[in-house]
Amino acid sequence: MKLVLFDIDKTLVKSSAGHRAAFSAAFKEIYGIDASIDIIQPSGMTDQQIIFEVLKIKGLDEEKIKSKLDLCMEKMADVFSGMIATAELTILPGVKELLEELKNNGVLIGLVTGNLEPIAQSKMKKLNLDRYFKVGGFGNDHIDRTELVKIAIKKARSKFDFIFSNNVYLFGDAPQDMKAGNEAGIIPIGVTTGIYSKQQLENAGASLVLNDLTDTEEILRYVLN
Ligand SMILES: [Mg+2]
């Protein structure tokens, strides 16, 4: 059995303004801080990393941030669930066809995303993609993306008797996705549908870089080999 994991933002979908607004609302309500995640470059970061980076710039120390981290993540999920109905979300080209074909070929499919799980799930549900994903590692599980990959594999093992042996792939748009894949001992595949170039993804250790996910046949050949 193969396991194919996907990042969400800029890999499966165009990221939504709702997610960004959820950070700002939670920073304000939980920490009393006016801040937007636009003061950093959040691409490829887990939600927990984003929370720490932004609030540190705003002058909060780690202890203070940690003490309210769970509340902050809960607030974000709350705010996002109130916005999901009107949030503009777009599936990137080729994604639906690829997921369908992977499923038809008996591939186990999962998510590895820095998004908090409730946010990730409501994005997938809204786009009617949720039924494809059987396991996942999410932004609330850990701050470090490499750990999220390991968590997704662990879930595959316990829920589906998956045996890990050079048979796990991770699609992502950011160098951090490639690095996490390599550190977790799996095969990272880059897509340049985010802000990063082929060169940047290769430098970060991508085993293959694609312009997008539209060439279903090429991807199936690579993954099913
Ligand atoms: Mg991404």
Residue 135, domain CATH: 3.40.50.1000
* 171 alpha carbon – ligand 1 mean position (Å): 9
- For residue 128, count other CB atoms closer than 10 A to its CB: 10
* 165 alpha carbon – ligand 1 mean position (Å): 25
Specify the number of domains making up the chain: 2
Residue 27: strand, helix, or coil: helix
Cα end-to-end distance, the chain, whole Å: 12
Q: Same domain, yes or no, for 133 and 24?
A: no
Q: Quote the domain boundaries for residue 195.
A: 3-15+89-224
Rounded Cα–Cα distance for residues 176 and 9 (Å):
13
In Å, what is the CA distance from 100 to each residue of 104, 142, 155, 211, 223? Answer: 6, 29, 21, 20, 14
Residue-wise pLDDT for 164-211, tens only, equals 999 999 999 999 999 999 999 999 999 999 999 999 999 999 999 999
In Å, what is the CA distance from 178 to each residue of 6, 19, 23, 73, 145? Answer: 11, 23, 25, 25, 10
With 80 as the cut, is the pLDDT of residue 4 above it? yes
Residue-wise pLDDT for 14-33, tens only, equals 977 889 999 999 999 999 99
What is the CATH classification number for the domain harbouring 41? Answer: 1.10.150.240
* 113 alpha carbon – ligand 1 mean position (Å): 7
* 105 alpha carbon – ligand 1 mean position (Å): 25
Residues having C-beta closer than 5 Å to ion ligand 1: 7, 9-10, 173
In Å, what is the CA distance from 30 to each residue of 3, 48, 74, 117? Answer: 38, 15, 10, 19
Q: Same domain, yes or no, for 121 and 61?
A: no
Q: Same domain, yes or no, for 74 and 155?
A: no
Residue-wise pLDDT for 120-135, tens only, equals 999 999 999 999 999 9
Tokens at residue 183, please?
């550190």
Domain boundary among the residues 32, 54, 83 is at 83
